[in-house]
Amino acid sequence: MMDREQFGSDANVVSLKVDRKKIGAIIGSGGKNIKEIVRLTGTKIDVKDDGSVKVIGEAGPKMDKAVLWVKTLAGEIEKGMQFQGKIKKILEFGIFVELVPGKDGLLHISSIPKEHQEQMDLYYQIGAPLNVAIENYDKFTGRIKLRFS
């Protein structure tokens, strides 16, 4: 098992308890989500069948990102949480932003400056980063409404 020895004396362990039904969302199809978290953050993530999740890694921004990522995939989303997302789709009613791989939200056109609404593709490009915050999260549908942060 990877632990403090691999990561040095600055290693940090964050223990989370998530809904057992959300374990699949954290792991992803074929382990896609969890592998991506580990690859991009340099952490180790241990998920148990009872919903216990341990995130192990160097204390700092990458560790914080891994924890936020796990919480987001598990549906532990709260109003005001901030993300540097990536623009995924631009439609006439708004912009879909990937908060973390596997979890998107909608920045509705009403939240976009009036001068940008007519020609959104001039101001926003697919794949570009966009700083957003959670405006509303519907736990029943999983829909996330965003605002600029």
CATH architecture of the domain formed by 82-148: Beta Barrel (2.40)
Single-letter amino acid code for the residue at 40: L
Residue type, 136: N
Residue 23: the pLDDT is: 95
Q: Where are the domains of the chain?
A: 4-73, 82-148
Question: How high is the mean pLDDT in each 10-residue block of the chain (149 residues)?
Answer: 50 92 94 94 96 94 93 93 96 96 94 94 96 94 95
pLDDT of 2 reads 40
pLDDT tens for each residue of 30-57: 999 999 999 999 999 999 999 999 999 9
Can you give the pLDDT at residue 101? 83
The architecture (CATH level 2) of 4-73 comes to 2-Layer Sandwich (3.30)
